[in-house]
Amino acid sequence: MESGGAFWRVVRVQDIVWLALFGALAAFGPDQNPYTVTFLLALGLFQVLESKLPLASVRGAIFSYSVKLILCYLLIGQSDGIGSSYYWVLFLPVISAATQLGLAGTAATSLIACGAYLSFWLRLTSDQFIPPDQVRELVLRVIVMASSGFVTHQLAEATRSEARRAEAAAEKLVEINRHLQEAEAAVRRSERLAALGQLSAGLAHELRNPLGTMKTSAEMLLKSVDGNNEVAREMAGFISSEVDRTNSLVTRFLDFARPLALRLEKADLTEVIDRAIGDIEKRSPALGIVIYKNYSPDIPPFYFDAQMMERVIYNLVLNAAQASRPGASVTVKTRQLGDTVEIAVIDRGSGIDPKHLENIFNPFFTTKSTGVGLGLAIVNKVIDEHGGKLAVESEAGAGSIFRVYLPFRETNGEGNA
């Protein structure tokens, strides 16, 4: 079965038909001249090989046309010239060229083929002539030959147009499918965020009371312990600091769980990004990375929550810096796309494993040895509240690009500009 399939992939049904046609003409045609038979078989063989040779370009089409025209010319010349029964073989190069060349190329190749056929008229000797009643037949042959090229070109152009429309429709379907998958992923993420948000809120409130008791107890213990008991004082200090750390974590849980109340005010995006980058450079100088700024000068101030967006940029740039090796660079780029403003944070760090891409915005998901995985979840929530979108492109070992898309608001939603 496999060998049979391989055979039909190499030898097409039309190849067999071509070989049978020209073989029959060579065997039973009106002219059994050895040269005629040779040119017939050569024309049939080239007709079969044409589909297997790299002749899809314009140059390839011209080469194919030229070879066929020469073989056809020699065949007609060896079989009675202008009166040859094989005049119709000139249709082959004309039709072949018309399927690949434009209208001008089709017209040129048709005229050349007609001229080649009529040239046999000029080769008639003084004792040879065409009867007047056959001149009309000759003119009809030339007209049909030229018309066949035009009709073939029209059909080929219609086929190509249909193919282009089908290709455009397929590309549109791919794009629609991609958007649908993104929307499904966003819905799944929103459902998970809602469930985890409710869980976080309940858990955080339950933890606040015992944490307050532990903090108060540690402070009272620290006051009542003898000054010489260093171990007890150290343990009390550990309890107090760990309670503070846990309380900070609970606060982050609550920040994630509670609904966000946006304070939309007209602000300069460049200034907000600069503040976020300045905080990173001030608080984390040990990261040792270089931050490049590529801001579009065409983005005017617009309405968004500057404080929350500063936090978004801070988190994204800090993540990019932590994923990069010392001395590497992180680029922050902005541009306006119609009624949307794009902020891109680009790094060439460790990248994200493809299997983790769908989960990175989920709360409590992290691949770091420290942290609880709330940073990107909160970032995504802030952007959702703005009516924007967060997208990521990443390749493991090659870096990541986080793109924030914010709606360009010229009013704050209350009609105030």
DSSP secondary structure letters along 164-226:
HHHHHHHHHHHHHHHHHHHHHHHHHHHHHHHHHHHHHHHHHHHHHHHHHHHHHHHHHHHHHS-
pLDDT at 31 over 80: no
Q: At what angle do helices 91-100 and 58-77 cross, to 10 degrees?
A: 170
Within a domain: 169: no
DSSP one-letter code for 286: G
- Give the pLDDT score at 228: 74
The residues that bridge with 401 in the sheet, in sequence order, are 346, 393
Within a domain: 176: no
- Across the range 260-278, mean pLDDT stands at 91
Q: Do 323 and 373 share a domain, yes or no?
A: yes
Within a domain: 87: yes
- Give the pLDDT score at 97: 86
CB 390 within 8 A of CB 380: yes
Better-predicted residue by pLDDT, 38 or 260 = 38
- CATH code assigned at 318: 3.30.565.10
Dist CA 101 CA 57 (whole Å): 9
Within a domain: 57: yes
Q: Do 102 and 14 share a domain, yes or no?
A: yes
Residue-wise pLDDT for 190-205, tens only, equals 676 666 666 666 666 6
Q: Do 244 and 337 share a domain, yes or no?
A: no
Cα angle 365-246-402, degrees, rounded to a multiple of 5: 30
- Give the pLDDT score at 242: 80
pLDDT at 189 over 80: no
Q: Do 273 and 330 share a domain, yes or no?
A: yes
Q: Do 223 and 316 share a domain, yes or no?
A: no
Residue-wise pLDDT for 152-180, tens only, equals 889 988 988 898 999 999 999 999 998 88
Identity of the residue numbered 85: S
- Number of domains the chain contains: 3
Can you say how many angstroms the Cα of residue 106 is from the centroid of all Cα atoms in its chain? 36
Considering the entire predicted model, what is its pTM? 0.48
pLDDT at 82 over 70: yes
- Give the pLDDT score at 292: 93
- Give the pLDDT score at 1: 47
CB 329 within 8 A of CB 364: no
Within a domain: 150: no
Percent of the chain residues past pLDDT 90, beyond the cut? 21
Q: Which residue reads 């920040």 in tokens?
A: 255
pLDDT at 53 over 90: no
Q: Do 353 and 241 share a domain, yes or no?
A: no
Q: Do 220 and 347 share a domain, yes or no?
A: no
- Domain enclosing residue 77, as ranges: 2-129
pLDDT at 207 over 80: no
- Across the range 39-58, mean pLDDT stands at 81
Residue-wise pLDDT for 241-259, tens only, equals 887 777 777 776 666 666 6
